Amino acid sequence: MFFLKNREEREIRTLKTMIRMYCKAKHHPEGYLCDSCAEVLSYAAMKYHRCMFGKNKPVCSVCPVHCYNHVMRKRIREIMRFSGPRMIFNHPVMAIEHLLVQRWSKKNMPLFLKRVRGKQKRNSNLKSA
């Protein structure tokens, strides 16, 4: 159950878990998501699915492309700051998997930067043609 084969499923599940933890502590102790937190989850999932890096995406905190709008970036950071330290106690396997992916993302950052610059050059060549 914890070891989902698909990275996308695992990351979305981790995100849902972190948002639920935050919402339960701050908004709804009953355990369901309030409208505000559901909006953040929906927005984050949409951005995840539209990521230009596809399957090889870095975690958002180390990504060179800031695709979240300012308001949502602020909200998701608040959620991550609250839930992140608590994940190791409530969901240790998810927390460790997330830390490993984050470490891998930081280690491979030059590869991501090359891809971004390459796509930007291709897009500018298409526009000028």
pLDDT tens string 35-74: 999 999 999 999 888 888 777 777 777 777 788 899 999 9
Phi, psi of 28, rounded to the nearest 5 degrees: -130, 100
The candidate with the shortest Cα–Cα distance to 47, out of 19, 15, 23, is 15
Q: Tell me if 2 is assigned to some domain.
A: no
Q: What is the pTM of this model?
A: 0.72
Range of the domain at 57: 7-128
DSSP symbols for 21-56:
HHHHHHT-TTSSPPHHHHHHHHHHHHHHHT-TTGGG
State the pLDDT confidence band at 126, using cuts at 50, 70 and 90: very low
Which own/partner pairs from 115-121 qualify as long-range (CB within 8 Å, at least 24 positions apart)?
Answer: 115/53, 116/52, 116/64, 116/65, 119/52
Number of domains observed in the structure of the chain: 1
Instruction: Say what the pLDDT of residue 1 is.
Output: 42
